[in-house]
Amino acid sequence: MFKKIAIGAVAGLALFAGFVATRPDTFTVTRSATVPGSPDIAFGLVNDFHQWNQWSPWEGLDPDMKRTFGGAESGVGATYAWTGNDDVGQGQMTIEEASVNASIRVKLEFIKPFASTSITTFAFKPADTGTTVHWTMTGDHNFISKAMCLFMDMDQVVGKDFEKGLASLKTAAQAEATKRAEAEAKASVAAPTP
C-alpha cells in the first residue's frame, strides 16, 4: 500500500514538474497612463531616484526602509538600494540608459525575499493632454517563479502596483506643472514692459 502511495506521489510530482517546465520562460508587465505636463516633467520624476518617494508604489510599504543612493546624481549610473520589511525586501536599481525626455532603462535586482533580475523601462510620449508614460518590466522565469505563477498572476500583482505608481506620478507631475505655471506667471508680471 505504502509503495503504491509513494509511486503515485512521485508520479504526481513528476507531472507537476513537467507542467511547470512548459510555462513561459519570460514575463512582461506593462501599464500606461497620461500624466499632466510636458515630457520633461515626468522624465525628471523618474530619471532621479531621489524623486521616487513622490510616486513609487512601494515607497510607503515600510516607513523604516533604509535607502542608499549612489553613482550619478540622476540619469545613467545612478543607483538606489533599499532594505526593508517583508513587503519591500532588499534590492537595488541602476539606471542603465536614459534618452532625455524620451525613455529610461533601469536594471532591477532583488536580493530578498528571493534573488531575481528584471529590466524596467519607461517611455515618454507627448499627448494632447500631457505625456503618455509607458511602464514595462521584463524578466526571466526560473523553475520556482514558473511554479509560483501557477497560483498568482504576475501581470495582475505587479500591474496593480504599476497602476498605483502611475496614478501617483500623475499627481506629482500635476504639482510640478502647476508650480512651473505659477513661476512663469510671476516672472511675466515682474518683467518690465518695453
In the chain, domain spans? 25-179
Cβ–Cβ under 8 Å, residues 81 and 94 = no
Number of H helices, E strands in the chain: 4, 7
Cβ neighbour number for residue 145 with a 10 Å cutoff: 16
Query: What dotted CATH number matches 25-179?
Result: 3.30.530.20
pLDDT in tens, the chain (194 residues): 666 665 655 555 555 445 444 555 567 889 999 999 999 999 999 999 999 999 999 988 899 999 999 999 999 999 999 999 988 999 999 999 999 999 999 999 999 887 889 999 999 999 999 999 999 998 765 545 544 545 556 777 788 999 999 999 999 999 999 998 888 888 877 766 66
Largest interatomic CA distance in the chain: 101
Angle between helices 154-190 and 39-47 (to 10 degrees): 120
pTM above 0.85, yes or no: no
- Cα separation of 55 and 171, whole Å? 8
- Cα separation of 15 and 139, whole Å? 26
84: nearest Cα among 56, 104, 51, 122? 56
